[in-house]
Amino acid sequence: MNFSDVVKARVSCRSYNGKQVSEEDLGKILELMQLAPTAAHYQAYRVRATTDLDLIAKIGEIAGQEERFAGATAMIVFFAVPEEGAERFGDRARDLYSIQDATLACAYAQLAATDLGISNLWVGSVDEVRVLEVCGLSKDGKDGLGLWPVAVSLFGYTDEKLARCGRKKLEDLKV
Protein backbone atom coordinates (compact mmCIF):
# COMPACT_ATOMS: atom_id res chain seq x y z
CA MET A 1 0.00 0.00 0.00
CA ASN A 2 1.15 3.54 -0.54
CA PHE A 3 1.05 5.96 2.38
CA SER A 4 -2.31 7.52 1.45
CA ASP A 5 -3.88 4.07 1.23
CA VAL A 6 -2.51 3.09 4.63
CA VAL A 7 -3.84 6.26 6.28
CA LYS A 8 -7.25 5.80 4.68
CA ALA A 9 -7.37 2.09 5.61
CA ARG A 10 -6.48 2.63 9.29
CA VAL A 11 -9.66 2.47 11.37
CA SER A 12 -10.33 1.42 14.95
CA CYS A 13 -11.08 -2.25 15.49
CA ARG A 14 -13.11 -3.24 18.54
CA SER A 15 -13.62 -6.95 17.78
CA TYR A 16 -10.80 -9.42 17.21
CA ASN A 17 -11.00 -13.08 16.14
CA GLY A 18 -8.03 -14.43 18.14
CA LYS A 19 -5.75 -15.15 15.16
CA GLN A 20 -2.19 -14.72 16.38
CA VAL A 21 -0.09 -11.74 15.32
CA SER A 22 3.33 -13.21 14.59
CA GLU A 23 6.42 -12.14 16.53
CA GLU A 24 7.94 -11.26 13.14
CA ASP A 25 5.10 -8.86 12.34
CA LEU A 26 5.23 -7.36 15.83
CA GLY A 27 8.94 -6.79 15.26
CA LYS A 28 8.21 -5.02 11.95
CA ILE A 29 5.69 -2.79 13.71
CA LEU A 30 8.26 -1.90 16.36
CA GLU A 31 10.96 -1.17 13.77
CA LEU A 32 8.72 1.32 11.95
CA MET A 33 7.42 2.76 15.22
CA GLN A 34 10.99 3.64 16.17
CA LEU A 35 11.18 5.95 13.14
CA ALA A 36 8.48 8.29 14.47
CA PRO A 37 9.58 11.92 14.83
CA THR A 38 10.37 13.03 18.37
CA ALA A 39 11.31 16.26 20.11
CA ALA A 40 15.03 16.90 19.56
CA HIS A 41 15.39 13.21 18.66
CA TYR A 42 15.26 12.25 22.36
CA GLN A 43 12.70 9.47 21.86
CA ALA A 44 11.39 10.22 25.34
CA TYR A 45 9.20 7.13 25.42
CA ARG A 46 9.47 3.42 26.12
CA VAL A 47 7.23 0.55 25.10
CA ARG A 48 6.14 -2.79 26.47
CA ALA A 49 5.31 -4.99 23.50
CA THR A 50 3.71 -8.34 24.21
CA THR A 51 1.81 -11.27 22.80
CA ASP A 52 1.08 -12.51 26.34
CA LEU A 53 -2.69 -13.01 26.32
CA ASP A 54 -2.88 -12.87 30.13
CA LEU A 55 -1.20 -9.46 30.21
CA ILE A 56 -3.45 -8.22 27.40
CA ALA A 57 -6.50 -9.38 29.37
CA LYS A 58 -5.24 -7.74 32.59
CA ILE A 59 -4.75 -4.39 30.85
CA GLY A 60 -8.22 -4.78 29.32
CA GLU A 61 -9.66 -5.29 32.79
CA ILE A 62 -7.80 -2.24 34.12
CA ALA A 63 -9.20 -0.21 31.22
CA GLY A 64 -12.71 -1.53 31.93
CA GLN A 65 -12.82 -2.65 28.30
CA GLU A 66 -12.46 -6.42 28.52
CA GLU A 67 -14.73 -6.95 25.52
CA ARG A 68 -12.58 -4.70 23.30
CA PHE A 69 -9.37 -6.47 24.34
CA ALA A 70 -10.83 -9.97 23.84
CA GLY A 71 -9.29 -11.72 20.85
CA ALA A 72 -6.46 -9.19 20.40
CA THR A 73 -3.20 -11.15 20.27
CA ALA A 74 -0.59 -8.41 20.55
CA MET A 75 -0.36 -5.16 22.46
CA ILE A 76 2.03 -2.29 22.91
CA VAL A 77 1.86 -0.07 25.97
CA PHE A 78 3.43 3.35 25.35
CA PHE A 79 5.11 5.11 28.26
CA ALA A 80 6.26 8.71 28.34
CA VAL A 81 9.63 9.37 29.99
CA PRO A 82 9.05 12.90 31.27
CA GLU A 83 12.59 13.53 32.51
CA GLU A 84 14.25 12.83 29.17
CA GLY A 85 14.89 16.17 27.63
CA ALA A 86 14.03 18.04 30.83
CA GLU A 87 17.59 19.24 31.33
CA ARG A 88 17.42 21.00 27.97
CA PHE A 89 13.72 21.91 27.76
CA GLY A 90 12.52 21.95 31.39
CA ASP A 91 8.82 21.59 32.15
CA ARG A 92 7.90 21.68 28.47
CA ALA A 93 9.71 18.36 28.01
CA ARG A 94 8.13 16.89 31.14
CA ASP A 95 4.60 18.06 30.44
CA LEU A 96 4.41 17.89 26.67
CA TYR A 97 7.31 16.59 24.59
CA SER A 98 7.47 13.14 26.18
CA ILE A 99 3.72 12.67 25.70
CA GLN A 100 3.96 13.82 22.10
CA ASP A 101 6.85 11.41 21.50
CA ALA A 102 4.92 8.45 22.92
CA THR A 103 1.72 9.23 21.04
CA LEU A 104 3.51 9.75 17.73
CA ALA A 105 5.18 6.38 18.23
CA CYS A 106 1.74 4.88 18.87
CA ALA A 107 0.38 6.40 15.66
CA TYR A 108 3.33 5.08 13.65
CA ALA A 109 2.85 1.61 15.16
CA GLN A 110 -0.80 1.62 14.14
CA LEU A 111 0.00 2.72 10.60
CA ALA A 112 2.69 0.03 10.35
CA ALA A 113 0.19 -2.58 11.53
CA THR A 114 -2.39 -1.41 9.02
CA ASP A 115 0.20 -1.73 6.24
CA LEU A 116 0.68 -5.37 7.33
CA GLY A 117 -3.08 -6.03 7.28
CA ILE A 118 -3.28 -6.10 11.09
CA SER A 119 -6.24 -4.38 12.73
CA ASN A 120 -5.63 -2.14 15.72
CA LEU A 121 -7.17 0.07 18.37
CA TRP A 122 -5.81 3.03 20.33
CA VAL A 123 -6.85 2.93 24.00
CA GLY A 124 -6.13 5.93 26.18
CA SER A 125 -8.50 5.35 29.07
CA VAL A 126 -6.54 3.31 31.62
CA ASP A 127 -5.62 3.50 35.28
CA GLU A 128 -2.00 4.53 34.82
CA VAL A 129 -0.79 3.37 38.25
CA ARG A 130 -2.33 -0.09 37.82
CA VAL A 131 -0.83 -0.39 34.32
CA LEU A 132 2.60 0.31 35.79
CA GLU A 133 2.01 -2.33 38.46
CA VAL A 134 0.79 -5.00 36.03
CA CYS A 135 3.78 -4.30 33.79
CA GLY A 136 6.09 -4.72 36.79
CA LEU A 137 7.20 -1.08 36.77
CA SER A 138 7.56 1.32 39.66
CA LYS A 139 4.91 3.99 40.17
CA ASP A 140 7.34 6.09 42.20
CA GLY A 141 10.07 6.21 39.58
CA LYS A 142 12.37 3.74 41.33
CA ASP A 143 12.82 2.01 37.97
CA GLY A 144 15.06 4.97 37.19
CA LEU A 145 12.98 6.23 34.28
CA GLY A 146 9.85 7.72 35.83
CA LEU A 147 7.69 6.07 33.15
CA TRP A 148 4.09 7.15 32.70
CA PRO A 149 1.65 5.15 30.52
CA VAL A 150 -0.08 7.34 27.94
CA ALA A 151 -1.50 4.93 25.37
CA VAL A 152 -2.19 1.28 24.68
CA SER A 153 -2.46 -0.12 21.20
CA LEU A 154 -4.11 -3.46 20.53
CA PHE A 155 -3.32 -5.57 17.48
CA GLY A 156 -5.04 -8.53 15.90
CA TYR A 157 -7.26 -9.70 13.13
CA THR A 158 -10.99 -9.30 12.68
CA ASP A 159 -13.75 -10.98 10.73
CA GLU A 160 -15.78 -7.78 10.69
CA LYS A 161 -15.86 -5.23 7.92
CA LEU A 162 -14.42 -2.12 9.53
CA ALA A 163 -15.65 1.33 8.63
CA ARG A 164 -14.33 4.76 9.46
CA CYS A 165 -16.40 6.84 11.85
CA GLY A 166 -17.63 10.21 10.68
CA ARG A 167 -15.11 13.03 10.63
CA LYS A 168 -15.47 16.75 11.02
CA LYS A 169 -15.33 18.74 7.84
CA LEU A 170 -11.84 19.99 7.08
CA GLU A 171 -13.13 23.59 7.20
CA ASP A 172 -14.29 22.99 10.80
CA LEU A 173 -10.74 22.04 11.82
CA LYS A 174 -9.16 25.19 10.51
CA VAL A 175 -8.64 28.22 12.73
Cβ pair 68, 154 in contact under 8 A = yes
Which pLDDT score is estimated for 1? Answer: 83
Dist CA 91 CA 107 (whole Å): 24
Q: List the domains of the chain with CATH numbers.
A: 11-158 (3.40.109.10)
pLDDT in tens, 11-59: 999 999 999 999 999 999 999 999 999 999 999 999 999 999 999 999 9
* Residue 142, pLDDT score: 67
**Using the 8-state DSSP alphabet, how is residue 160 labeled?**
S
Letter string b/e over residues 121-150, b meaning 16 or more CB atoms within 10 A of that residue's CB: bbbeebeeebbbebbebeeeeeeebbbbbb
Each residue of 81-112: pLDDT tens digit? 999 988 889 999 989 999 999 999 999 999 99
pTM: 0.94
Strand pairing partners for 76?
Answer: 49, 153
